[in-house]
Amino acid sequence: MTETEDPKRAPASGRILRAGAIYFALVFGVGLALGPPRVLWLEPWLGKTIAVLLEAPLLIAAMWFGARWATNWARVDGGWVSYLLVGLLALLLQQIADLAVGFGFRGMTLAEQAAYFATPAGFVYLATLIAFALMPFIRMPRVER
């Protein structure tokens, strides 16, 4: 096993990249699983805002566990900056993927996707994005704080 294959021996930047990618994949996977039931079943029944409010705790739980698991697996260290970078990298990947899903599957324009943030459901979504970016830092082991 080479240095780049073993997370224990990878350089700090490699560990941050791996943790960010894994954290993104875990939480985005949960979001992909929850999205269709929310859009197809809950939104027509309860409205967008309530549907997003019901989905948010499940996503935050995925963030809570995913942030700790990804950073532990990749053996992230280096203090709070490293953990914050994991979250920011994951957020960047999430936004790229979210735009791709919006363009490809939902036929939305960039303006439509941006306008969503000005709705009540969009405010909830924005709050979950902030939580997503900060969760690796929030879940950082106390020893490193």
pLDDT reported for residue 61: 98
pLDDT reported for residue 1: 46
pLDDT reported for residue 109: 84
pLDDT reported for residue 144: 52
In this structure, are residues 3 and 9 in contact, taking their beta carbons and an 8 Å threshold? yes
> In 85-123, which positions are buried (b, 16+ CB within 10 angstroms) versus exposed (e)?
bbbbbbbebbeeeeeebbeeeeebeeeebeebeeeebbe
Q: Which amino acid would we find at residue 106?
A: R
Q: How many residues are given for the chain?
A: 145
Per-position pLDDT tens, the chain of length 145? 454 555 555 668 899 999 999 999 999 999 999 999 999 999 999 999 999 999 999 999 999 999 999 999 999 987 899 999 999 999 999 999 989 988 877 788 889 888 999 999 999 999 999 999 999 999 998 765 5
